Amino acid sequence: APVLAGRDFLSNLDMTSSELRAVLDTAASMKRGEWRSVKPLAGLSLALVFEKASLRTRTTFDVGMYQLGGHAITLSNQEIGLGKRERVSDVARNLERWVDGIMARVYLQQTLTELADHAAIPVINGLSDMLHPVQLLADYQTIEEELGDASGKRVVYIGDGNNLANSHIHMGVLTGSHVTIVTPVGYEPNGAVLLDAVRRGAEVTLTNDLAAIDGADVLYTDVWISMGQEDQAELRRKAFQGYQVTPAMLDRLAPHGIFLHCLPAHYGEETVPEATEHPKSRVFDQAENRLHAQKALLYHLMGELKPRW
């Protein structure tokens, strides 16, 4: 039965460890094809709101709704002008009259909170400048497939202390993985996210030292220049010198270690094509799992809803 009925998913910490367990189990079962003839979201619609570009998030939520028997409608910011053409609270109060859920990719986490506050339907964070929680569901599905239980595993994130780094820290709280964030000085993850995670008992390490990579179970990176930071490109490329993931770096992982990247990759910056093609790379399995993990999330958030029409 759905374990997240009536909730929003703005952060990984919007679910408990046992709810995460249920979602990842459902995701694995969906990947095995066990839900092929089940249409738990028949008659339901999901709005996909984008302030920024997307390949994976847009495609997987759309295909995911279709496979679960529902329907998705994509709304680019050119169309709806979130907060510009129309205030966010009005967008929320319109959408809730027509659709059964909202997935939104935005700049400010505050925009998601505002949508959630004004819409009675589930709101899902499809990436904000602060967090990327749906990505981490797919990432931990991939980690479990390769390495089993994530508890106690050393997950090393290298690069910018950005939305991905913050969500990695949240997953340390939920799964008991030992998360290390390796960044240049000045590019550490969000301080409030870190303090909260430590207070909740997570084992999180911040360092500027590449030695943290040695023996890691998972090495993860993401772009140095996130969407919206294009004006800082020059400065950032300089600051991150030496933090590029190369095949030589992947040789430093544990023998069973894997390399993950949420994609898109900015080749020549945080990584190189040879890392993507390396035997330790699981980046395309990870991308595939966006579909399975988000279908599981959608089922658990919306699976109890009945068509209102």
Question: What is the spatial distance between Cα 117 and Cα 111, in angstroms, rounded to a whole number?
Answer: 10
**Is 193 annotated as belonging to a binding site?**
no
Query: How far is the C-alpha of 44 from the C-alpha of 98, rounded, in Å?
Result: 10
Is 63 a binder of ligand CP (CB under 6 A)? no
* Residue 54 binds ligand CP, judged by CB under 6 A: yes
Q: Binding mask 262-291 vs ligand NVA (x if CB under 6 A, - otherwise)?
A: x-----------------------------
| Residue 56 falls in the annotated catalytic set | no
Alpha-carbon distance of 301 to 134, in angstroms, equals 13
Other CB atoms within a 10 A radius of the CB of residue 89 amount to: 14
CB of 197 or CB of 287, closer to ligand NVA: 287
Alpha-helix runs per DSSP H in 148-202: 163-175, 191-199
Min. distance of Cβ 223 from ligand CP in angstroms?
Answer: 10
- The annotation status of 134 as a binding-site residue, yes or no, is yes
Surface-to-core class of residue 45, CB atoms within 10 Å of its CB (0-12 exposed, 13-18 middle, 19+ buried) = buried
290 a catalytic residue? yes
Q: How far apart are CA 76 and CA 82, in angstroms?
A: 9
Q: Which is nearer to ligand NVA, 154 or 290 (CB)?
A: 290
| Nearest residue to the partner ligand CP, using Cβ | 57
Catalytic residue check, 237: no
Nearer to ligand CP, 210 or 263 (CB): 263
- Token look-up 């003839």 returns 37
Residues at the site binding ligand CP, with contacts judged by CB under 6 A: 54-57, 127, 135, 262-264
Residues at the site binding ligand NVA, with contacts judged by CB under 6 A: 127, 162-164, 222-223, 226-227, 262
